[in-house]
């Protein structure tokens, strides 16, 4: 049982109090909170009346929420042993200067987090040269800190993905990793691993759309990941104000340059580790494969396609789920209707598939 100490601070924000207390296990912090400095962490009465609030900082080994009451170590409940955190930087423009231009990845970073120790054991970083809009905007250079020379000296996205694949294979062999599985699918010596991003944008939008536009193949393992922003909201029951804001709410200082892909990935890893300590169980939140299957069903039901012979005459035994269950694979095997399929996607506001 932890020995508790009482500490009182006046006129401090929750994050300042957290830092001042030094994150000592079992410390009870009594905060005298004026209304003007209240944050979301404070109760409704504290926000309205400026009452004294009490916040308990739990033992880091057991987390502050779900697992602190029953004594269960949160590390025992984790599905994954390792997390690969990704945070792309892409071409961008201020306001409406970009027009209809599409973002292209210009920095491809990844860090390997050991869920059991909180240590970053490996890193990957590669600058990528854009080909659709080769000259970086002044806004982009100012925001990311990436120079024109760095992207000019970079590699095409296809080459970057090849280098990333080699890096994945190396750590996979060295650490006996398997991706996106569960504990029943691994041997005693194997370790489960998945990807983590701050929101779905990096893998579902940026990489997916660029590979589609440029006809580039990517690793299938990049089709599943943990959206840490969504997990954060569920764990702490509040909407984070960006990555820096999420860290600040937990009393963690952002380290390095914001909007540097590698720095963002490192800080996202620190946040993920803290969430594990607080009892959060990180699970896959997004799977592009299942999303594509839903789009396939939608396509078959779309009125625009009903007059097409290849769809109207499709027998049930050629469908995954009966007459209205064509999968993306089956649709992709109908080259005579490829343009029609793309048109349906555009009408539905969905990104056209590669056919």
What residues are labeled active site?
Answer: 89, 259
CA 347 to CA 14: how far, in whole Å? 48
Which positions ≥6 away from 319 have C-beta within 8 Å? 300, 325, 326, 327, 330
Q: Are 246 and 264 in contact (CB under 8 A)?
A: no
Q: Are 292 and 328 in contact (CB under 8 A)?
A: yes
CA 155 to CA 236: how far, in whole Å? 40
**Helix axes 261-277 and 242-249, enclosed angle (nearest 10):** 30
Of 230, 169, 162, the residue nearest 196 (C-alpha): 230
CA 110 to CA 302: how far, in whole Å? 39
CA 344 to CA 305: how far, in whole Å? 8
**Helix axes 228-236 and 261-277, enclosed angle (nearest 10):** 30
Locate 221 and state its tokens. Answer: 């393992």
Where residue 71 falls (left for φ over 0; alpha for ψ -120 to 50; beta otherwise) is left
Of 250, 106, 84, 290, the residue nearest 169 (C-alpha): 84
């Amino acid at each position: 049982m932890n020995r508790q100490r009482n500490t009182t601070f006046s006129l401090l924000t929750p994050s300042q109090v957290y830092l001042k207390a030094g994150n000592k296990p079992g410390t009870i912090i009594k905060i005298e909170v004026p209304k003007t400095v209240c944050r979301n962490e404070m109760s409704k009465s504290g926000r309205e009346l400026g009452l004294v609030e009490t916040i308990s900082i739990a033992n880091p080994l057991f987390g502050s929420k779900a697992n602190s009451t029953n004594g269960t170590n949160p590390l025992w409940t984790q599905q994954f042993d390792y997390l690969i955190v990704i945070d792309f930087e892409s071409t961008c423009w201020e306001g409406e200067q970009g027009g209809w231009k599409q973002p292209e990845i210009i920095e491809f970073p990844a860090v390997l987090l050991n869920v059991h120790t909180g240590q970053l054991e490996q890193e990957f970083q590669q600058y990528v040269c854009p080909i659709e809009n080769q000259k970086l905007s002044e806004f982009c250079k100012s925001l990311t800190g990436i120079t024109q020379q760095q992207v000019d000296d970079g590699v095409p996205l296809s080459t970057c993905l090849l280098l990333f694949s080699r890096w994945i294979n190396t750590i996979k062999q060295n650490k006996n990793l398997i991706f996106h599985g569960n504990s029943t699918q691994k041997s005693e010596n194997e370790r489960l691993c998945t990807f983590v991003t701050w929101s779905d944008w990096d893998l579902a939008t940026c990489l997916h759309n660029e590979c589609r536009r440029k006809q580039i193949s990517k690793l299938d393992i990049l089709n599943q990941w943990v959206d840490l922003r969504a997990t954060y909201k569920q764990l702490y029951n509040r909407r984070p104000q960006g990555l820096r804001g999420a860290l600040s709410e937990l009393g963690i200082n952002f380290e390095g340059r914001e909007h540097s892909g590698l720095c963002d990935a490192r800080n996202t890893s620190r946040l993920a580790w803290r969430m594990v300590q607080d009892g959060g169980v990180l699970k896959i939140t997004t799977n592009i494969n299942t999303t594509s299957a839903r789009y396939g069903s939608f396509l078959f039901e779309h009125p625009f396609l009903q007059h097409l012979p290849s769809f109207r005459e499709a027998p049930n035994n050629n469908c995954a789920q009966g007459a209205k269950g064509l999968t993306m694979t089956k649709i992709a095997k109908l080259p005579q209707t490829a343009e029609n399929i793309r048109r349906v996607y555009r009408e539905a506001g969905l990104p056209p598939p590669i056919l």
